Structures are given as structure tokens and as C-alpha cells.
């Protein structure tokens, strides 16, 4: 069964002014869709495997395309209109316990995102019962290991161009201050 491009969980202009309609049109409609198209080209005799099953068993180009489809879908859900700010409840308590509080988490998330040379992702994950901020290069994703992703920010340049030009740090700051979907992260945390 072919993989399809998941719809965005909000309208194209819903994240403005912090993430432009133009950015979503390019990033979701062009880049994300290109991964879907290429994955289906690479798997002409597609089975009913889920995207996660494909990622966990594939390598090379099939892995790269499948992981990028999954990572991007997770990224869209990691943002919401009128998002951002501080988490609450059990997730906030875990951030306090494991990461030294929200301010330290915020600094670490931005630092890891900036430290990712070239293309990749920065994640908040739960690994071995502990929250961690990790970065992954290219299409790599925590779901291939033991970590459970709670939220992610895409640090490929196309993720924040044209809204932020080449200013990755400004994008990461806006992601945390105005876009992050703490409800999505809290639901992932509760299931982890």
C-alpha cells in the first residue's frame, strides 16, 4: 500500500507570523511530499507495513525517505497555533527533575539545535525513564533506538527558510516561545 502525505493538523496560515504560510507551502507541500513520492517510487511493490515498520527494517534510500516522512509528520504535530511557552503538569515536573527546569531545557534545546552541523533534528525524548534533549543528523530518528520522541524541531535549512532566512537560532527561539505544542508532547510523555 503506498504511503500518502498526511494533511497538516492546522490551516496553512495558522502559525503566522511565527511560521509563514509560504514556509508551510514549501516545506509540507514540496519537501515533505517529495519524500512521500520518492518512498513510493522506491517501493513499487509496497506491502502493508506501517511507516514505523519500514523505518525499523529498511536501510539506505528507503530508510532515508521513510524516516523523513515520519519525522516531518511528527514535526507538524510538534507545533500548533498559539503554542509555545512553558509546559505544565507531569511533563513540566519531569523537565524540572531531569533537565534542571524549563529555562535550562530551553537553553539546551536551542544549543543542541545549533550544534547540529548541517541538516538534522533536535528532539525532546524520554529514554530509560529520563528526559533528554538529543540531536540527530539527516533523516535519523529516535524511533530506531530505545528513546521515545516527545517533540521535535526540524533544523534542515528548508524548515525555517524563507521565514527566518539562515537564522536557525531565531527559528528555534520562536519554535519554543510561540509554536511548540506542549499538549502533543504531554500526550507522548504519558504514553512513553
What is the SS3 assignment for 33? helix
- Check pLDDT > 80 for residue 19: yes
Reading the block at residue 38, the C-alpha cell is 520518492
Q: What is the pTM of this model?
A: 0.96
Domain ranges in the chain? 20-192
- Check pLDDT > 80 for residue 59: yes
> How many other C-beta atoms can be found within 10 angstroms of the C-beta atom of residue 170?
13
Instruction: Tell me what pLDDT residue 140 has.
Output: 97
Instruction: Tell me what pLDDT residue 115 has.
Output: 97
pLDDT in tens, 87-135: 999 999 999 999 999 999 999 999 999 999 989 999 999 999 999 999 9
Q: Class of 20-192 per CATH?
A: alpha beta
Instruction: Tell me what pLDDT residue 49 has.
Output: 87
Radius of gyration of the chain (CA): 16
- Check pLDDT > 80 for residue 178: yes
Instruction: Tell me what pLDDT residue 173 has.
Output: 98
Amino acid at each position: 500500500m503506498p504511503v500518502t502525505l498526511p494533511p497538516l493538523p492546522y490551516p496553512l496560515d495558522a502559525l503566522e507570523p511565527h511560521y509563514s504560510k509560504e514556509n508551510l507551502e514549501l516545506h509540507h507541500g514540496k519537501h515533505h511530499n517529495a519524500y512521500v513520492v520518492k518512498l513510493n517510487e522506491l517501493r513499487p511493490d509496497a506491502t502493508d507495513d506501517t511507516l514505523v515498520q519500514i523505518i525499523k527494517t529498511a536501510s539506505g534510500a528507503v530508510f532515508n525517505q521513510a524516516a523523513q516522512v515520519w519525522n516531518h509528520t511528527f514535526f507538524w504535530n510538534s507545533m500548533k497555533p498559539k503554542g509555545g511557552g512553558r509546559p505544565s503538569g507531569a511533563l513540566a515536573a519531569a523537565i524540572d527533575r531531569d533537565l534542571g527546569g524549563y529555562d535550562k531545557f530551553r537553553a539546551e534545546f536551542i544549543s543542541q539545535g545549533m550544534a547540529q552541523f548541517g541538516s538534522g533534528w533536535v528532539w525532546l525524548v524520554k529514554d530509560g525513564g529520563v528526559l533528554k534533549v538529543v540531536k540527530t543528523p539527516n533523516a535519523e530518528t529516535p524511533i530506531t533506538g530505545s528513546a521515545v520522541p516527545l517533540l521535535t524541531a526540524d533544523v534542515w535549512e528548508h524548515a525555517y527558510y524563507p521565514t527566518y532566512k539562515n537564522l536557525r537560532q531565531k527559528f528555534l527561539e520562536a519554535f519554543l516561545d510561540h509554536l511548540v505544542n506542549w499538549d502533543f508532547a504531554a500526550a507522548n510523555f504519558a504514553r512513553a
